[in-house]
């Protein structure tokens, strides 16, 4: 499904749960004809993300809202910065305020966190990847935020890449069965998808290399020492990804082993939102 369609569905659901049968606070206190302006004020250092989505939210609710952009997605921001000023009906500004902030704070927090991980990898060939550990319904936005922060997207969902994880391997009856099954399925369905397989030890790694016909191997919960040994064994034959419990403190150590990718669930599943507010301009 297209990103735009999923974003539109998210916005519709978000307004439905927030506004319901009407924002009675706004309706009782603000005249229908009143117009005004509000500025997006940054309160914390970080990387800005969600500006383009905010424009979509405003436009979705009221096409009459205009947005003057001063800082774009990916900009490094600090307290006191103004990202944009939105102008239009006051009722519309008030009813869109919370959704705009929820999305931008979350996306900016993800972009900021991603940027910190990316900085730690400077000088290596390793790229940081996100995972599917995302907020239900917000995956497309959260993965956009990872890209804005300088990271790379792993697969978007279950449809755009084959990733044979430990449960798939166990249910399939082993590494070879899982890989062969994937290869036959793609041939039968005439699909061009990359195949990645997760391995838990050197025995599984050797089996995966022996079968071949895969694009990437995920080293699950390997220590840095084991990772270095795996990189030497593979010797560039397939891409290598490190995964499992890798933290801000250990990611550089894994990157220096020479893996191509490191996936970090924390980019999206445990991120602190970036502080900002949408304030009326009097």
Is residue 5 annotated as part of the catalytic site, yes or no?
no
- The sheet carrying 35-42 orders its strands as 66-69, 82-89, 35-42, 276-281
Instruction: Tokens for 169, please give them.
Output: 């391997």
Cβ(229)–Cβ(97) under 8 Å?
no
198 CB-near residues (< 8 Å, 6+ apart): 163, 164, 165, 166, 169, 217, 218, 220, 243
Is residue 279 annotated as part of the catalytic site, yes or no?
no
Is residue 165 annotated as part of the catalytic site, yes or no?
yes
Residue 7, SS3 per DSSP = helix
Select which of 37, 43, 127, 165 is catalytic.
165
**Scanning the structure block, which residue is given the tokens 């997760």?**
198
Is residue 198 annotated as part of the catalytic site, yes or no?
yes
Q: In the chain, which ranges are E strands? A: 35-42, 46-47, 66-69, 76-77, 82-89, 127-129, 162-164, 195-199, 216-220, 239-243, 261-263, 276-281
Select which of 37, 133, 147, 194 is catalytic.
133
Cβ(257)–Cβ(23) under 8 Å?
no
Cβ(271)–Cβ(46) under 8 Å?
no
Select which of 196, 198, 204, 241 is catalytic.
198
Cβ(91)–Cβ(49) under 8 Å?
no
**Scanning the structure block, which residue is given the tokens 């996306």?**
107
Is residue 232 annotated as part of the catalytic site, yes or no?
no
Select which of 52, 152, 220, 275 is catalytic.
220
Calculated CA dihedral for residues 151, 157, 160, 163, nearest 10 degrees: 90
Name the residues annotated as catalytic.
98, 133, 165, 198, 220
């Amino acid at each position: 499904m297209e990103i735009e369609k999923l974003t539109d569905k998210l916005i519709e659901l978000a307004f439905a749960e927030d506004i319901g049968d009407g924002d009675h606070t706004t309706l009782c206190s603000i005249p229908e004809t009143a117009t005004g302006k509000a500025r997006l004020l940054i309160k914390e250092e970080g990387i800005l993300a969600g500006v383009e989505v905010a424009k979509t939210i405003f436009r979705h609710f009221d096409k009459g809202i205009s947005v003057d952009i001063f800082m774009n997605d990916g900009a490094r921001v600090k307290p006191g910065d103004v990202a944009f000023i939105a102008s239009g009906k006051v009722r519309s500004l008030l009813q869109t305020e919370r959704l705009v902030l929820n999305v931008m704070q979350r996306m900016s927090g993800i972009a900021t966190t991603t940027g910190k991980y990316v900085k730690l990898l400077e000088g290596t060939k390793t790229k940081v990847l996100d995972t599917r550990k995302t907020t239900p319904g917000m995956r497309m936005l959260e993965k956009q935020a990872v890209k804005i922060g300088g990271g790379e997207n792993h697969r978007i969902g279950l449809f755009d890449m084959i990733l044979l994880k430990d449960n798939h391997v166990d249910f399939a009856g082993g590494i070879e069965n899982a890989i062969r099954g994937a290869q036959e399925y793609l041939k039968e369905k005439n699909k061009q998808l990359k195949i990645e397989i997760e391995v838990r030890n050197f025995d599984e790694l050797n089996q995966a290399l022996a079968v071949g016909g895969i694009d990437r191997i995920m080293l699950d919960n390997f220590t840095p020492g084991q990772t270095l040994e795996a990189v030497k064994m593979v010797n560039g034959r397939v891409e290598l990804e490190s995964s499992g419990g890798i933290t801000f403190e250990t990611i550089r150590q894994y990157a220096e082993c020479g893996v191509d990718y490191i996936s970090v669930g924390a980019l999206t599943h445990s991120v602190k939102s970036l502080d900002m507010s949408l304030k009326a301009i009097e």
